Every structure is written in C-alpha cells, then in structure tokens.
Structure 1
Amino acid sequence: MARAGIGGVARAFRSTRRTRTAPAALGRLSHRADICRVLARPRVALARSPPVPARGRALAARAPRAVSGAGERRSRTLPALIVLGILNHTALTGSRVTVSLYALSLGASPFVVGTLMGLYSFLPMWLAIGAGRMSDRVGVRGPMLAGCCGIAVGAVLPRIFPGLPVLFAATSLIGLSFMLFQVGTQHATGALGAPADRPRNFSLLALGYSVSGFTGPLTVGLLIDHASFSATFACLALLPLAPAAVLARGWLALPRKRPANAPATASGVADLLRNRHLRRVFIINGLLSMAWDLHTFFIPIYGANLGLSASLIGVILAAFAAATFVVRLAMPWIARRFAEFEVLTAALFVAGGAYALFPFVASVAPLMMLSFTLGLALGSAQPMVMSLLHSIAPAGRMGEAVGVRMSVINASTFAVPLLFGAIGSSVGIGPVFWLVGAGLAGGGFFARRR
C-alpha cells in the first residue's frame, strides 16, 4: 500500500508538470486555472478553480508574449523605425539641397540662402523641449505622425506655390516637423530592449541616417538635372506618406503616455540640469555637435581658400560621411567592449587632435585622412550619448531629456556658423580650428573625470 501510494503521488506530479509545461512552451498561460491535486485513496481527484482570463492577471503573472501579441510587434519596431527614419531624413536632407539650389535659381543672395538654411533649426531650437514633454505626456505616436504629415506639407508647398517667399514657410515647417518625428523616434528607440541593447540600437538607427544623408542629396541632384524643381519637391513630399500610414495604423509597439505614478515635470528643465550626470552628457553633446557643424561649415571655406575645386571639396566631405557610416557598422562590436564614457572620451581627444592639425595641411589626401578620422570620432559618439541619456534620465521624462539634447543640437547648428564665421573673418580660419581643437581636448578631460 505504501508503495502504491508513493507511485500515485509520482504519477500525479508528472501529470501536473505535463499540464503546466505544454501551455507555457507556447508562450501563454493555460485557460485551465491552477489545478490542485488531492490524494484520495491511491488515485488522484481534481479540484479546479474557475478559469481566470489572462487579461485579468497581473503582468508579472503572465508568460512572455501573453499580452496580445506585443512581443511580435516589439520585435519589428526597431527595423521599422530605422526605415521610417531613412524616408523622413531623406526628405529633410533632400529638401535642404533643393531649397538652396531653387532659391539661387530665383536670384536669391547667399545671405538669403543662409537664412533659409538657418530656419530649419530656428524653431526646433526653441520648441524641442516642449515636444519632448509632449511625447512624455501623450506618447510618441501622435507627435511622430504629426511630424510626418508636416514634412509632407512643407515639401509640397513650393510645388503648389512657386516662388521665393514660400520657401521661408516650407523650411520652417519641415525643420519643426522633422524635430517632432526625431524626438519620438529617439524616445522609442531607447525604450526598446534592455539597457545593454541601447548602444547597438542607437548605432543601427544612426547607420540608417548615414544612408539617408548620402542618398538624399544624390537623389535630388539627379531629379533636378533630369526633371525639374517642381517634380523634385513633389517626390520629396511622397516620402513621408509611408511612415505616416504605418504610424496611423498603429502597427508598431511604441511608448505610450507617462505612467500615472511618474514624477511631474513642473520643475522644468532646470531640474534636469541640476542632475550632474545629465549635465555632463549635455555638455559633451554640445561639444560634439559644435565639432560636427564646424566641419560642415568650414571645410568648404578652407578648401576654397586653398584653391581646391568644388568636386575635390566634395570628396573631402564625402570622406567624413563614409567614416561615420563605417564606424556605425562597427558600433555593436565597440559597445560590447567599451563603456559609453570611454568611447566619448576617445572621440573628443581624437576630434580635438584632428582639428588642431587641419591648418597644417594644404593638399587633398591629408585633408581626406583628417576628415575621415574626424568622421570616425564623431560618428561613434552619437549612439553613446543617446544610450547614456536614456540610462540617466528620470523616469517619465525621457522625452524631455531628448528634447533638451535636440535644442542643444539645433542651437549649435544655428549659432556655430554665425559665431565662428565672425571669428574667422577677423583672425583667420587657422585660429578657429585650434580654438575648437582645444575645446574638444578639454571636453575629453571633462568626460574622463568620474
């Protein structure tokens, strides 16, 4: 009898494990609730509690993918965000080239063209923080969808209303709309996966933008030469429609509004800046953004002073773009072996050294090498800045932190040409390079400090 009783208990235990294992292997809870097996003689009787739907259970009690297919939607979110970002960024970069060439064809002065380019960053410089707070408050899907629609409208305006005045409205709207999309995209990318996955995720997103940064100007150049400005604006307006459709249908698992128990944002940006770790990231981000914008602005001027042709200056700039693409391919490997601040420290020192050497070279090959080196340094830094930002930002204020970063970037894009252009006009380009190199080296020591 004792042996039979023990055998019954063993059979009951094995039966229980089979009952629980099969549904769990499918990634969901069984609709049959917990089963209590009560020994009665040598056999086992079943006592069942009423079925409880998975929807009524706490999230902690649910197995993976038990939440209405969210696992499948989340797995496709990052690749989709990269593709949507490429389409919208292609529209942005393509519109910059198209607007500038169209304005020149209408007889606009270089000052007017510079003003149009500055308008891409002027409104985002002031409104990015508010956009970040909005993404925290209402979720990212709505702002991203509004951004896609705004890019399309801004791109089609010159097609509907030809002429110079409409370009001021178009550039302002495109810049503001892309900022809305970008804040939401970076917020969503940081929310995907574990913290250890963030450097890789942001590297892949930045890699996509490297592709669109190359294809946008190239594509519109071909369209302008073989079609017309009007057709080019129409094609640019079509690019954001696919992202808008994806976002409108809700096909992606995107961060929703801030949880009810998250801290309020009434204290404003000053509260974020009082966090010394966040402040450190913002300062480093500002230095890196300054270095990036200065290269774009001053290399054509420096090359022209050396007597280089436009095509050779383009080759030097292309070396920088190629380096950012190459280093972002390697970023998943780099992120597994080095901490964020280690990469940022190295990037600042290398970029500072490259800027210090620029005034000493006057031929194409060395300039290409320095430009490529600078691209490696600056291209490796952006994913690490975004990873740190998402790790340090207070709960429920990720969008606001991203907005502060976007404000810093747009302020740099707007102010660097004005400030360093004035310095270069008075003392020459060489001292500007040395001044920036010293600032970046100082930033390297600042980033290395614990």
Structure 2
Amino acid sequence: MKFASFFIAVFFVLASVSAVRPMTSLFAKELDASMIEIGIITVCYSVTPLFLAVFAGRYIDQFGEKLPIIAGSICMFISLALPFYFPSIATLYISMLLLGGGQLLAILAIQNGVTKSASNETRDKAVGTLSLFTSTGLLFGPLIGGYVSEHFGFQTSYILLAVIPIITIIVSFFVAKTEKGASKGKQGKSANVKELLLLPGLGRSIFVSMLILSSLDIYSVYFPLYGQSIGLSVSQIGWVLAVQGAASALVRIIMPKLVEAYGRVTILWIFMGIGALAYGFIPFQDQFSIILIVSFIIGAGLGITLPLTIILSYNAAPPGRSGEVLGLRLASNRLAQTIVPFLLAYVSSFVGLGIIFVIKSVLLLSGSLTARGISDDVQEVEEDEREKAI
C-alpha cells in the first residue's frame, strides 16, 4: 500500500510528541519553573515551525518527502535525549525548539505525501486514515508518557522515549517518492503569502485550523497542571489525554461517510461547536469519571476537524504548491501556538488555570461560526457532477 509508510511514520511521530509535551510541563514545574517560564517552554515548541514551515513546504514540493522525514526524526531524537543528560529549564527551551522543528519537517512531509498521492475521490479516505493513525499516536503517547514518568521519573523518561524517533527514522527509508505532477499539476504562478491567504476558502480554513490546534495544544500542556491542581495522579492525567486521543481516532473512522452525507464544511463547523462547549465545561468538574467523559467529547468534536482543514487547505492550493500551502497552514498553527499559550500563562498567573479553558471555549465557538463561510470548490464541483449524472 503506497500510504503505509506514511501512516506508520505519523503514528510514531505523534506518539513521541504527545508523550513528551505533557510530561515536560510537569518536569519544568519539578525544576521550580514559574508559570511564565512554563509558558515560554510551551511557546518554544512552536517557534521553529513558525519560521521554517513555508520554506520547508517549498522544499518538499521540489524534492519530495523522504529526506524531511529523516531529518525531522533525527531532530526529535536529539530533543528527547538532551533533558536526560542536561536536566535544566534552559535545556527544556532548546529541547522544545528542536522537537517543534523536527515534528514540523516530518508531519508536513507526511501530510503532503498523502494528499498529493490521493485522487479527489480517495482524498477524504486517505487523509481520514492518516488522521486515524495520528489519533492512535495521540492515544498511546500520553499513556506511555504517564506511566513511564510515574515509574522511572521525568528525567529518565526522556531517554526511554528517545527510542521512538529511531523507529520513525527506520520507517522513513521505506517512504516511496511521490509521482511528479501529482501535486495538482505543474508548478503554479508564484504568489506571496498574502495572495495565498486571499484564495477562496484558504484564509478561513487556516484561521479555523489555528483555533483548533491551539486549543488541543493548550489542553495537552495545561490540563496536566490543572489535573494535578485538583488531585489527579500522573497516570490519571495520562488517561484523560488518552481518552481524548481515542475519541479522535474513533470519529475519524466514520469521517468519510459523514463528509459524503453532509459535506466537509457542515461537519467542520458542527463538530467544532460541540468540542467548544465541552472544552468550556472542564473547569466546572473535578471528578475523574466526568472529566473522562468531557475529554472524550472534546476529542470527538475537535478530532474530526483538523483533517478536514488539511483537505480544505489542499483543495485551495494553486497547482504544484500544495506543500507550500500546507506549510503556511502549519506556520499559522504554530503562530497561534506561540502567542496563545504565553498570553494564557500570563492570565492564569492572576486568575487561575480554569479560566484558560473558558476563554478557549469562546474562541472555538467563534471559529465554528467562521467555518460556516468556508468555500470548498473541489467538493462543490464533485457535487455538481453527481447531480448531472443523476
């Protein structure tokens, strides 16, 4: 199967990231980091992709996916090994910078390889399956990170988890080169970032993606701190994050059928609204069982939305520039991940952690309304063709 290596690679990339990032905020707290310092550590993960994503996308458009996946995996390995040998807050800054850059290279190459290789008819299924493997990685990552850190301590956990990127490096050698011209035809007319954002549907898709990913990011980083504040154990926190990942995986199994029945945009804004409401409910509960249910709803609501923004962004891309557009999407996501955690860390230092979830809930609801206006030209063409055939 031509997508198999991409699917396996994305599992290990996301498993390692989702295992380490929640653990890092707790390790930073153990090292006596302030909330502001934890916010900066969180931001560091997004800084490197913010500046490199568009350039990385252009490189992938020209030279393919294999080398970026290998290079990204090596960066991730180094980022996980550093805190074991040099346990300090300063090292965590460097570690997150490398982790963010490595994850960017690998994920961008994987996303472009899958979307470029699939036809219009099979793209929803291909991206849905990719997202299923992504969710599975997000499911097992927090569980692995929670149990390893609870039994071996935070510092030792880093070197144990560094094994995962090594597996990704091995898998990446089996990535097949995508066909020339598969990326929507010949290289399109050059356009700057501003012109790309003005393309029909692309600006809104990227904005919505920014809100969704920053919300999931905030959840993975700040829920461990909130969970600890209400008396949850590290393994219980891991289960809450794992349940969210499991819900994302389950809902992505049925994503192609839902899209076929109701359309990408409709599914996007409705599920985003559901996730937003659940997100805002978090600070009003301290029972582990209830939080698990709420986390499941968040995972189901927001889990189906990210792959849809990938498809919508790809469909809006000019010919031959899918990697660049997906890179722009990732750069925008990282911009949100850079600004939002730092601002919310500052706010939480005055009003507490719970208000973070309420603020993000309101932002997600506004994004749900924005998503209703997204234009999906490819799907509209396909629907017109089906109507004519009938």
The TM-score bracket by the shorter chain reads: 0.7 to 0.9
Selected match of 2:342 from 395, 402, 418: 418
Alpha-carbon distance change, 253 to 446 in structure 1, aligned in 2, over 3 angstroms: same
1:156 paired with 2:81, answer yes
Contact kept, 8 Å, 2:186 with 2:319, in 1: the verdict is no
Does residue 175 of structure 1 match 2:100? yes
**1:440 Cα deviation after fit:** 3.0
* 242, 265, 269: which one aligns with 1:345: 269
Deviation at 1:206, TM superposition (A): 1.8
Alignment of 1:328-407 (within 5 A): 328-358=252-282, 363-407=287-331
Separation in structure 1 between the aligned mates of residue 305 and residue 161 of structure 2, nearest angstrom: 30
Q: Aligned partners of 1:428 and 1:141: how far apart in 2?
A: 44
Root mean square deviation, CA, Å: 3.3
Contact 1:293 1:416 in 2 (8 A): no
Whether the 8 Å contact between 1:151 and 1:177 is mirrored in structure 2 is yes
Identify unmatched segments of 5+ residues in structure 1.
Answer: 1-75
1:354 and 1:171, CA in 2 relative to 1: closer, same or farther beyond 3 A? Answer: closer
Aligned to 1:290: 214
Aligned length: 371
Shift of 1:324: 1.4
1:85 pairs with 2:10: yes
Helix, strand or coil at the partner of 2:176: coil
Q: Is the 8 A contact 2:188 2:320 kept in 1?
A: yes
CA distance, structure 2, for counterparts of residue 443 and residue 223 of structure 1? 36
Cα gap change, 1:237/1:254 in structure 2, threshold over 3 Å: closer, same or farther?
Answer: farther
CA distance in 1, matches of 2:22, 2:286: 28
435-444 or 411-420: bigger deviation: 435-444
Over alpha carbons, which structure has the higher Rg? 1
Distance 1:365 1:230, change over 3 A: closer
Q: Deviations over 1:1-44 (max 9, x none)?
A: xxxxxxxxxxxxxxxxxxxxxxxxxxxxxxxxxxxxxxxxxxxx
Q: Cα gap change, 1:304/1:89 in structure 2, threshold over 3 Å: closer, same or farther? A: closer
- The answer for the alignment partner of 1:94 in structure 2 is 19
TM-score (normalizing by structure 1): 0.71
Q: How far apart are the structure 1 equivalents of 2:149 and 2:355?
A: 38
Per-residue CA deviations over 1:35-79 (Å, capped at 9, x if unaligned) read xxxxxxxxxxxxxxxxxxxxxxxxxxxxxxxxxxxxxxxxx2312
Change over 3 Å in CA distance of 1:114–1:290 after alignment to 2: closer
**Structure 2 gap segments, 5+ residues each:** 376-390
Q: CA deviation at 1:187?
A: 0.4
Determine which structure has greater relative contact order: mean sequence separation of CA pairs < 8 Å that are 6+ residues apart, divided by chain length. Answer: 2
**Which whole-Å deviations, capped at 9, do the CAs of 1:99-118 have from their partners, x for residues lacking one?**
55655665655554443333
1:270 has 2:194 as partner: yes
- Taking the aligned partners of 1:406 and 1:116, their CA distance within structure 2 comes to 19
Give me the whole-angstrom Cα distance separating, in 2, the residues matched to 1:251 and 1:318. 28
Tell me how far 1:125 sits from its aligned partner.
1.8
More deviation in 373-382 or 250-259? 250-259
What does residue 122 of structure 2 align with?
Answer: 197
Higher helix share: 2
Cα deviation, 1:192-251, whole Å, max 9, x if unaligned, reads 222122222222222212222232343345445666767644443443334334444x65
Aligned partners of 1:444, 1:184: CA distance in 2, in Å? 28
Q: Distance in 2 between matches of 1:275 and 1:347?
A: 24
Are 1:185 and 2:132 counterparts?
Answer: no
**Structure 1 residue 145 corresponds to structure 2 residue 73:** no
Q: For residue 332 of structure 2, what is the amino acid of its counterpart? A: V
Check if 1:131 corresponds to 2:56: yes
> Could you tell me which of 174, 178, 181 is aligned with 1:254?
178
In structure 2, distance between residues paired with 1:162 and 1:358: 35
Which residue, out of 370, 374, 384, partners 1:446? 370
The two structures have a TM-score, normalised by structure 2, of 0.81
Letter of the 2:262 counterpart: F
SS of structure 2 residue aligned to 1:77: coil
Question: Deviations along 1:159-187, whole A, 9 cap, x unmatched?
Answer: 5x434244433332222111111110100
More divergent stretch after superposition (111-120 vs 80-89): 111-120
User: How many angstroms apart in 2 are the aligned matches of 1:135 and 1:195?
Assistant: 21
**Could you say which residue in structure 2 is the equivalent of 1:322?**
246
- Alpha-carbon distance in structure 2 between the residues aligned to 1:358 and 1:98: 20
2: CA distance, partners of 1:182 / 1:329: 20
> Is the 2:220–2:241 contact (alpha carbons within 8 Å) kept by the matching residues of 1?
yes
Change in Cα spacing, 1:118 to 1:263, as seen in structure 2 (3 Å) is: same
Matched position secondary structure for 2:187: coil
Residue 28 (structure 1) aligns with: none
Q: CA deviation at 1:367?
A: 3.8
CA gap of 1:246–1:360, structure 2 versus 1, over 3 A, is closer
Deviations 1:253-290 (A, max 9, x none): 4355879941253x321111111311121122122223
Closer, same or farther: CA 296–142 of 1 in aligned 2, 3 Å: closer
Distance 1:357 1:216 in 2: 24
SS at match of 1:384: helix
State the distance in 1 between where 2:348 and 2:32 align: 27
Do 1:139 and 1:255's aligned partners in 2 also have CA atoms closer than 8 Å?
no
Q: Distance in 2 between matches of 1:400 and 1:117?
A: 25
Residue 252 of structure 1 aligns to a residue whose secondary structure is: coil
2:255 and 2:277 map into 1 onto residues whose CA distance is 22
State the SS of the aligned residue for 1:309.
coil
